[in-house]
Amino acid sequence: MLVIVPARQGSKGVPGKNTKDFRGVPLVEWSFAAGLAIARDLGAPVVCTTDDAAIGALVQRGYADQVLIHNRAANLASDTAGMAGVVLDVCKRFGATRYVLLQPTSPLRLLDDLAALVRETKAHETVVSCTNPCEHPEDLIVLDGAKGVPAIPAPKSARRQDRATEYRFVDGSYYAGRVNTLLDADTFLPADTRYHTLEMPAAVDIDTPHDWAMAEARHDWLQAQGYEFVRPTR
C-alpha cells in the first residue's frame, strides 16, 4: 500500500497553491501531515508525486526521511491529466497493490475522521470520504435556457426537517482502493465503495481564491470550536 499526495506545479485557479502558505504552512504540508498520521497504522510509506522542483526541495528540507518523492512525467502533470493515471503511475513505480489518495486541496482533516477511515480501510477494499451537503440536493434545478426543472423531483412544500437525509457529498479528502480495481473500472468510486461520512461539518476543497478564503475561515472556526484536526508540526 502507498499513501499518495499528488502535488503538481501548475494551477490556474490559485497559481502555486501547493507551496502557498495556508495558515502559516505550505498547503501541501497539511496533507503530508495527514499521510504521516496514518502511515504507521496502515504500514504504508507516504509518497509525493510532483513535477515541481520547489515541492521536491520542500520535501528534502523538511521530510527527507518521511516522504518519498516520485518525479511525475509531463504528460501526467497537465490540466487534462486524470488523477487515476497519476495514481496508477505511482503504484506501478513502487509495486503497490493498494493506495490511499490524499489531495492537497483538502487540507483540513479531523483526527477522529482519519482514525475512522484507517479502520474502514483495513476492513474494506474501497473506502471514500463524504460529508453532508451544505445545501439540500432537492433544491437543485437543471436549467434549459431560463427555464428549469428540479434535478431531484420532490415536494417543495415539505418542512426542512422532513426532507430526505441520505444524501452525501464526495468531498475528495480521502480515497482508498485497490490498484487492479482502479485499472479495470477507471474510477475511484466503484460499485463496492464503502462511503464514510466525516464528522467534518462541511467539505473543504480549494480550487479558487474564494475557496482559499473560505478554507482559512473554516480553519479558524474549527480551531475556535475546539475541533482536533491534523496540522503540520515542523
* pLDDT (tens digit per residue) in 207-221: 999 999 999 999 999
Structure confidence by residue, pLDDT tens digits, 43-55:
999 999 999 999 9
Fold held by 2-156+166-225 = Spore Coat Polysaccharide Biosynthesis Protein SpsA; Chain A (3.90.550)
Cell (9 digits) for 233:
508540526
Quick one: pLDDT at residue 1?
A: 97
Locate the domains of the chain by residue range.
2-156+166-225
Cell (9 digits) for 203:
467539505
| Whole-structure pTM value | 0.94
Location of C-alpha cell 480515497:
175
Per-residue pLDDT band at 148 (split at 50, 70, 90) = very high
Q: Cα separation of 71 and 22, whole Å? A: 24
Q: Cα separation of 62 and 77, whole Å? A: 23
- Asked whether 228 and 110 are in contact (CB, 8 A), the reply is yes
DSSP, res 154: -
42-67 as b/e, with b when 16 or more CB fall inside 10 Å? bebbbbbbbbbeebbebbeeebeeeb
DSSP, res 138: G
- Asked whether 14 and 207 are in contact (CB, 8 A), the reply is yes
What is the rounded end-to-end Cα distance, in angstroms, of the chain? 26
Quick one: pLDDT at residue 201?
A: 87
Structure confidence by residue, pLDDT tens digits, 99-147:
999 999 999 999 999 999 999 999 999 999 999 998 888 889 999 999 9
Instruction: Report the Cα 134 to chain-centroid distance in Å.
Output: 17
Of 103, 120, 51, 113, residue with least CA distance to 215: 103
